[in-house]
Structure formats: C-alpha cells, structure tokens
Amino acid sequence: MGENFDGPHALITGGSTGIGAAIARRLSASGARLTLAGRRPEPLKKTAASLREAQAVPFDVTDEAAVEEGVSIAIERYGPVDILVNNAGAAGSAPFTKTTPDAWRATLEANLTGVFLVSRAVLPAMLERGRGRIVNIASTAGLKGYAYVAAYCAAKHGVIGLTRSLALEVAREGITVNAVCPGYTETELLKRSVANIVEKTGASEEEARGQLLRVNPQGRFVRPEEVAETVAWLVGPNSGAINGQAIAVAGGEV
C-alpha cells in the first residue's frame, strides 16, 4: 500500500459523490482497485464507470445482512479489502428538544453503526493477512460541539471513540485505524445545510454561507480533494506509525 499502489483493493462507502468520490479518484490515480458502496445505485455506477478498475456494489451500511452480502460481492472480483474508507453518513439539524427519537436513532445508525458494521465485515481478513488500513471520515463535529446537531455530533464523537479503541486493539496486527475530520466542505451536503439555514432563518444564500464560513480561520470551505489527499497519506507507505488519530482538515478551526 502506498503512493504507487500495487493494486490494493479499497472499499469506499458513500463513494458516489462529494468527499467519497474525491477519495475514489485519488486512490484510483495511485493504482488502487475500487469498490464503491452506497444506497443509490445510479450515482455509484456513474462514478465507478469514470475510474479504472472500479466496481459499484450498492448496499445500506446500516443493514447488517446487506453489509455482509455487499462485502462478499466486492471480494469476489478484487479479493479481500486492503483499505477501508468509511465515508457514508448523513446529517440533519434540529433544536435538541425537537430532535425525535427516530431522528436520533437514524443519525447514529447512518454515521456510527455503519462504521461498526462495515469495519467488522472486513477486519477478519485483514487480521488473517496481517495488514490493512481503515480510515473513518468523521467531522470536526466529532472534536467539538455545534448547536442544533446534537445527534450528528454525538455520532461523530462516537466514530472517533471507535477509531481510537479499535486502533489499540489491532496495533500489533499490521493494521492502522484513523479518523479524518473535515470542517465544512464544498459538497452536496454543504448545499443542503445552506438551504436549511435559508429556509429556517430567511437569510440569503450568501448570508447562510457566511455564517458557516465564520468558523474557519482561513475564511473558506475545505475542498473534497484536500480530504482525499489526507486519506491517501494515511494509507500510504510511510504512515504505518500513524494510528488512532483524529486529523482535522479544517483550516485551523480545531
């Protein structure tokens, strides 16, 4: 595994758009064979078709049986997973007192339980072969608090806790487990956040974007390619000592 990959198999959840697609492009350029997973088949197929040696295997990361089946399908073509990037997730916002139990559970399942299920599915083969890289895409919301997204912050804090715990468990097994924590990043998710602010506050789109920009000391949003570059480094040949870390890609916000 490294900058010039010898064809390792990388599984990327949430791999069709945004940060996931940027990671797919970056790892593909380094020679990895890719399995892109997610719930929407068409965007997955479109992204996979634009890359060399990439397959789309749609599955819901919150469904244990679907995860097991999806991972089995993935390895039929490319063999055991060498690199796992847990990128799938979802964010919603509401005041704490208006956050329903259903919304709470759905947010934790999408952002935290999915990381657990997919990691558990690929880890045994990594342990058997004595090598592997797991990178969990968390968020600055896993390192600090934001108002009106209590469930999302709780889930992403959980992802970082899981990362640190599993990293210790497999530290002597040739496997590293790390988290990458982007700040507000130019993706469809950001567009939805801006639209939500506009809808709920009556602010203009420019004003809504400005509200989010204020938390970044650089005064700009993160680019998906910057997150992807961090992931590529973490799975590279000289990062074996980087383990159990939560790396902020946020312009100095954290």
Going from the C-alpha of 105 to that of each of 3, 109, 157, 159, 161, the distances in angstroms are: 38, 6, 15, 15, 18
Catalytic status, residue 152: yes
Asked if residue 80 lies in contact with residue 7, where contact means CB atoms within 8 angstroms, the answer is no
Of 69, 74, 95, 99, the C-alpha closest to 85 is 74
User: 75-103: string of b/e by CB count within 10 Å (b at 16+)?
Assistant: beebebbbbbbbbbbbbbbbeeeebeeee
> Whole-angstrom Cα distance, residue 157 to residue 139?
9
CA 81, 82, 83, 86: dihedral to nearest 10 degrees? 30
Residue 46's CB is within 10 A of a number of other CB atoms, namely: 15
Determine the 3-state secondary structure of 11 from DSSP.
strand
Which amino acid belongs to residue 242? I
Question: 114-141 as b/e, with b when 16 or more CB fall inside 10 Å?
Answer: bbbbbbebbbebbeeeebbbbbbbbbbb
Catalytic residue (choose from 78, 146, 148, 152):
152
> Which residue has 């947010």 as its token pair?
107
Active centre residues (catalytic): 152
